[in-house]
Structure 1
Amino acid sequence: MHRKQWIFDMDGTLTDSMTVVWQGAPLELLRRYGRTARPGIHDVLLSMGMAEGAEYLIRTYDLPLTLRDYEPAMRQVIRDLYKKVELKPGVREMLARLKAEGVRMCICSNTWAEQCEEVLTRLGVADYFEFFYTAQGAKSKAHPEVFHEVLERLGGSGPADAVVCEDAVYATRTARQCGFYLIDIEDETSAADKPELQRLADQYITDWTQLDWTKL
């Protein structure tokens, strides 16, 4: 295996957290304030950034929160929901094998770096990763320079000799544009994008036990 730098997304890639946390968090926040979500709330929030989504929830559901209050309240909801999250099948074995092969690994996630580290520490795999990178806003994975920056921190010589592991189509498109070797894993929340992910990925798998090591 000659690809010695691996960049992992966390939610939906290593952990089963997309439904539990990221679809569940707005519902749980509203529940804590005695509100009931309206039908289609996920579709509405999916089209918004984090700040716009916060404004929408505060306004639409008359939450007793300011924008300043919202972030710590939502972070606490997310932190609590992450306690229910587990690793996807085959993750432990896959990470152990990569470590044994001398691979350098990191997390590049929309989720706050400290939250990723907390989750993966609880699950017993945080030590496999050299650093945790928060990819949000101007530093989101929609921007190629983010992947280049992360690869440089891993000591990579170039994208063709490195691997990006994802479940989200927008990040997959960016990594493909950069020239990385791409592994995409199936997740319930990205089912509608499956044909596009299969087209873009060098390997598309349903769980980590299906990884073809001969191609790496």
Structure 2
Amino acid sequence: MHCKQWIFDMDGTLTDSMTVVWEGAPDALLRRYGRTPRGDLRATLLNMGMQEGAQYLIREYGLPLTEESYFSVMREVIAELYETVELKPGVRTMLAKLQAEGARMCICSNTWAEQCRTVLTRLGIAQYFSFIVEAQGVLHKSHPEVFFECMSRLGGADPAACAVCEDAVYAAATAHKAGYYVIGIADRTSAADEPEMRRICSQFVPRWDMLDWTRV
């Protein structure tokens, strides 16, 4: 196994939360304030970080919230939805194998670290990850700096020997352009991007128990 550092997204990659949480939470929040979500809302928010999404919803839907109060309300909504989230098939076995092989792993997520830790602890896999990086602001996944930071903290220096695992095409594309070994995982919310994911990823798998270990 040539990849000794592994950078995992959480939502849609390790957990089934893209549909449960990230499609459901904005709708739930808007309805709290009597707003009706537009049909393109989910597609619009998909490629935004948390802060950018907050600014968009406050502005476009005239929410009576500051960014600070928005996040307070949104965290309540999200925390409730995350209680129903489960792991994607094959995750536990994959992480155990990586640990046995001496790989170092971290989480790099648009979701805030505290919430990631809560979810991963409830699901019994938090112990596999050395740290959690919030991909926000200048560390947004549309820029490679966040992946370089993660790799460095994991003790790596060669992107080609560092696996980046993603379900979102924009993040996978960033890692691909920066020279990482990119593993794409299928998710219902990003099904339309599968042809592009297959083109740019070193591997693209429908589920984690179909990973080709001879290629990593």
The alignment of Structure 1 onto Structure 2 pairs a total of residues equal to 216
Taking a change above 3 Å as real, the CA distance of residues 133 and 52 of structure 1, as seen in their structure-2 partners, is closer
Q: What is the deviation of 1:48?
A: 5.7
Question: What CA distance in whole angstroms lies between the structure 2 residues aligned with 1:27 and 1:195?
Answer: 29
> One-letter code of the match for 1:139?
L
> One-letter code of the match for 2:119?
V
Counterpart for residue 24 of structure 2: 24
Question: What CA distance in whole angstroms lies between the structure 2 residues aligned with 1:160 and 1:39?
Answer: 40
- Whether 1:182 aligns to 2:182 is yes
Counterpart for residue 122 of structure 1: 122
Taking a change above 3 Å as real, the CA distance of residues 100 and 31 of structure 1, as seen in their structure-2 partners, is same
Q: What is the deviation of 1:59?
A: 5.3
> Tell me, which stretches of 5 or more residues in structure 1 are unaligned?
none
Q: TM-score under structure 2 normalisation?
A: 0.92
Cα root mean square deviation, aligned: 1.8
Q: Is the 8 A contact 2:27 2:37 kept in 1?
A: yes
Q: Is the 8 A contact 2:7 2:108 kept in 1?
A: yes
Counterpart for residue 40 of structure 1: 40
Taking a change above 3 Å as real, the CA distance of residues 171 and 65 of structure 1, as seen in their structure-2 partners, is same
Taking a change above 3 Å as real, the CA distance of residues 147 and 34 of structure 1, as seen in their structure-2 partners, is same
Question: What CA distance in whole angstroms lies between the structure 1 residues aligned with 2:137 and 2:20?
Answer: 23
Q: What is the deviation of 1:66?
A: 3.2
> Tell me, which stretches of 5 or more residues in structure 2 are unaligned?
none
Counterpart for residue 78 of structure 1: 78
Q: What is the deviation of 1:159?
A: 0.9
Aligned identity (percent) is 65
- Whether 1:150 aligns to 2:114 is no
Counterpart for residue 160 of structure 2: 160
Q: What is the deviation of 1:65?
A: 2.9
Counterpart for residue 134 of structure 2: 134
Name whichever of 12-21 and 44-53 sits farther off. Answer: 44-53
Counterpart for residue 57 of structure 2: 57
Name whichever of 27-36 and 123-132 sits farther off. Answer: 27-36
Q: What is the deviation of 1:39?
A: 3.1
